[in-house]
């Protein structure tokens, strides 16, 4: 063994002293608490000044106290038996626990300790511990675990996507919905789980918008590996690093399958109600329709009887003698046929067909259809339609239903029984920017103020025999076409029902 010269020994002692001085200074300045403890009851032999910042004690107060007295009761036994919260690695123990502060509240500490042994006997002389505040990390870990539980228990489909559009994780709902319980989906392209149109929407609009604003919402279809489509309302979120760069995306998709089915069922139900309403309206007009058909049929009979009387017993007949009554009979028969055809179209159950319509022509036809009803109620119909009226977008049968309902209501409200002067129902049409407004005005008693808020409610009617469906359905039909329907009382007498329609492109 090589012996040191006096000079070498002095240099070594100097180096050790300097090193110890530097270590002591580091301990005094460190924000981590450095402490020394007795091996039996873990009493503080020494604590660095950081103890005041971490626990609120002064160095003098904590020296002599046992760490066991400051542990949270639930954590003491874990430390004694070296529970899983105490890790051992290369002679160092790392332990996360709750420690009581001077004011009585508990804070989370993470401590790394090692034993200092007597080199000759091997007995533990003391324990050196470095402790730091772990409160924020523990709270973050707990929050992350809670979020993970929520993520796995939510009914929404959650998909995490890498920047290269590959899938990194799916929650349980997504795995079940996409039939991936037994499949290793890691690194699958997102395109496998989204329809072609949906993937194109995400790439062209969703990802750029989320990168710019942090999130994006849209409706699209996801699909299983077998090709089954799942309609979803999707929210795309961009997740950033501390430096602000997007690290990955998450897709939170709410399954709309049941909602879409319910909407389709409601749509079918609405169509059935609309059809029933047309049948009811036609039933209410039955007597007027009978009168409407009786006129051309009676005229045809008269024309034919005239021919019979005039030419009975004659052997030869000139066409010029027959041309006028026969042509009149043909025109009259065609008129009756048009009435019947209109009735059949109006009561037919069919899907709406949106097309460009000549509103002026449609109004004239419906007013002609209501003429006999107006005559029976001692009402005349006036029509004011501008010559340059543009076409509107709508379904012909639905618009006929709305007009018929409003005009018949106006006729009934304006009915006169014993007056020489008939009442007037006026249909006015105005052209507004991108819209056409139709107004039906009557000369009735007006609408009671208490009834105005409920006028378009289903099953609400101001008529004693009314079903309360006509106005509700009319408003629904107009709104489905992008317009509005409303009612108001006129200043002098009567009421006005107005609705708007979008002009054709």
Distance CA 488, CA 498 (A): 8
pLDDT of residue 12: 47
pLDDT of residue 404: 82
The reported pLDDT for the residue numbered 65 is 94
Which residues partner with 430 through β-bridges? 437
Q: Maximum Cα–Cα distance for the chain, whole Å?
A: 165
Q: Which residues pair with 250 in a beta bridge?
A: 160, 237
Q: Which residue do the tokens 């502060």 mark?
A: 101
Question: What is the reported pLDDT for 106?
Answer: 93
Please, are residues 419 and 365 in contact by the beta-carbon 8 Å criterion?
Answer: no
> Residue 248 is encoded by which pair of tokens?
């990955």
Question: How far apart, in Å, are the Cα atoms of 287 and each of 284, 293, 340, 376?
Answer: 8, 10, 14, 10
Question: How high is the mean pLDDT in each 10-residue block of the chain (505 residues)?
Answer: 51 57 70 89 91 92 92 79 51 84 93 86 87 87 75 82 88 83 75 88 92 91 85 90 87 85 72 60 54 59 69 71 72 64 57 82 84 83 90 84 85 76 90 90 88 75 59 82 90 91 87
Judge contact between 437 and 499, C-beta under 8 A.
Answer: yes
The token duo for 207 is: 């990802």
Same fold for the pair 26-140 and 353-505: no
C-alpha to C-alpha distance for 450 and 41, rounded to whole angstroms: 85
Q: Is the dihedral of CA 323, 324, 329, 331 positive or negative?
A: positive
How far is the C-alpha of 63 from the C-alpha of 37, rounded, in Å? 9
The strand pair at 392-394 and 355-357 is best described as antiparallel
pLDDT computed for residue 427 by the predictor: 94
H/E stretch holding 193 reads none
Give me the helices (H) in 377-502, please.
Answer: 396-413, 470-480
**Mode of pairing for the β-strands spanning 379-384 and 423-432:** parallel
Which residue do the tokens 């022509």 mark?
A: 361
Q: Which residues of 170-193 are buried (b: 16+ CB within 10 A; e: fewer)?
A: bbebbbebbebeeeebeebebbeb
DSSP-assigned states of every residue in 267-297: HHHHHHHHHHHHHHHHHHTHHHHHHHHHHHH
From the candidate CATH numbers 1.10.10.10, 3.40.50.10320, 3.30.565.10, 3.40.50.720, the one assigned to the domain spanning 353-505: 3.30.565.10
Count Cα atoms within 13 angstroms, Cβ side, for 285. 28
pTM assigned to the model: 0.40
Q: Helix 470-480 crosses helix 396-413 at what angle (to 10 degrees)?
A: 140
Which pLDDT does position 109 carry in this prediction?
A: 92
How high is the pLDDT of residue 10? 45
The pLDDT of residue 121 is: 85
C-alpha distances in angstroms, 439 versus 382, 430, 448, 485, 501? 12, 8, 19, 10, 12
**What pLDDT score was predicted for residue 217?**
92
Q: How far apart are CA 198 and CA 206, in angstroms?
A: 10
Per-residue model confidence (pLDDT) at position 460: 63
Tokens coding 420: 């020489």
Report the pLDDT value the prediction gives residue 397, as an integer from 0 to 100: 74
Domain boundaries, the chain: 26-140, 154-255, 257-311+319-351, 353-505
| Residue whose C-alpha is closest to residue 483's, from 434, 449, 430 | 434
- How many residues are there in the chain? 505
Q: Are 401 and 281 in contact (CB under 8 A)?
A: yes
Q: What is the CATH number of domain 154-255?
A: 3.30.450.20
Q: Assess contact for 59 and 97: CB atoms under 8 A.
A: no
- Residue 58 makes CB contacts below 8 A (sequence gap 6+) with 51, 52
The answer as to CATH 3.30.450.20 being correct for domain 26-140 is yes
């Amino acid at each position: 063994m090589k012996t040191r010269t006096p000079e070498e020994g002095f240099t070594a002692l100097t180096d050790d002293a300097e090193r110890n001085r530097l270590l002591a200074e580091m301990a005094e300045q460190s924000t981590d608490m450095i402490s020394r403890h007795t091996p039996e009851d873990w009493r503080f032999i020494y604590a660095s000044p950081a103890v005041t910042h971490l626990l609120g004690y002064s160095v003098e107060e904590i020296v002599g106290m046992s760490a066991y007295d400051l542990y949270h009761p639930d954590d003491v036994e874990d430390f004694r038996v070296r529970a899983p919260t105490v890790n051992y690695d290369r002679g160092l123990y790392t332990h996360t626990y709750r420690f009581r502060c001077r004011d009585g509240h508990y804070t989370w500490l993470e401590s790394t300790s090692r034993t200092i042994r007597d080199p000759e006997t091997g007995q533990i002389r003391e324990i050196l511990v470095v402790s730091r505040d772990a409160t924020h990390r523990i709270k973050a870990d707990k929050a992350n675990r809670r979020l993970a539980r929520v993520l796995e228990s939510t009914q929404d489909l959650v998909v995490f996507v890498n920047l290269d559009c590959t899938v990194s994780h799916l929650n349980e709902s997504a795995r079940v919905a996409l039939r991936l319980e037994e499949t290793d989906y890691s690194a699958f392209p997102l395109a496998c789980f989204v329809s072609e149109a949906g993937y194109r929407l995400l790439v062209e609009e969703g990802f750029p918008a989320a990168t710019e604003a942090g999130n994006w919402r849209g409706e699209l279809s996801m699909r299983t590996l077998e090709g089954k489509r799942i309609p979803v309302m999707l929210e795309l979120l961009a997740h950033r690093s501390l430096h602000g760069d997007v690290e990955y995306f998450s897709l939170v998709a709410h399954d709309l399958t049941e909602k879409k089915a319910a909407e389709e069922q409601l749509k079918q139900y609405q169509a059935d109600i609309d059809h029933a309403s047309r049948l009811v309206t036609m039933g209410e007009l039955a007597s007027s329709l009978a009168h409407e058909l009786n006129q051309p049929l009676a005229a045809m009979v008269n024309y034919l009887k005239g021919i019979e009387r005039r030419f009975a017993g004659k052997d030869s007949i000139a066409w010029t003698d027959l041309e006028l009554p026969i042509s009149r009979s043909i025109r009259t028969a065609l008129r009756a046929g048009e009435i019947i055809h209109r009735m059949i179209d109006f009561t037919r159950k069919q899907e709406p067909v949106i097309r460009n319509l000549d509103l002026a022509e449609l109004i004239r036809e419906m007013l002609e259809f209501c003429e006999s009803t107006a005559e029976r109620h001692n009402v005349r119909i006036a029509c004011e339609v501008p010559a340059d009226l543009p076409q509107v977008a709508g379904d012909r049968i639905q618009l006929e239903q709305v007009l018929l309902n409003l005009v018949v209501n106006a006729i009934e409200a304006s009915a006169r029984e014993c007056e020489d002067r008939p009442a007037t129902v006026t249909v006015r049409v105005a052209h507004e920017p991108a819209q056409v407004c139709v107004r039906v005005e009557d000369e009735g008693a007006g609408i009671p103020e208490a009834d105005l808020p409920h006028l378009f409610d289903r099953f609400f009617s101001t008529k004693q025999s009314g079903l309360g469906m006509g106005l509700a359905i009319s408003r629904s039909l107009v709104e489905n076409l992008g317009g509005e329907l409303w009612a108001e009382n006129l200043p002098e007498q009567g009421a006005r029902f107005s609705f708007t329609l979008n002009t054709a492109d």
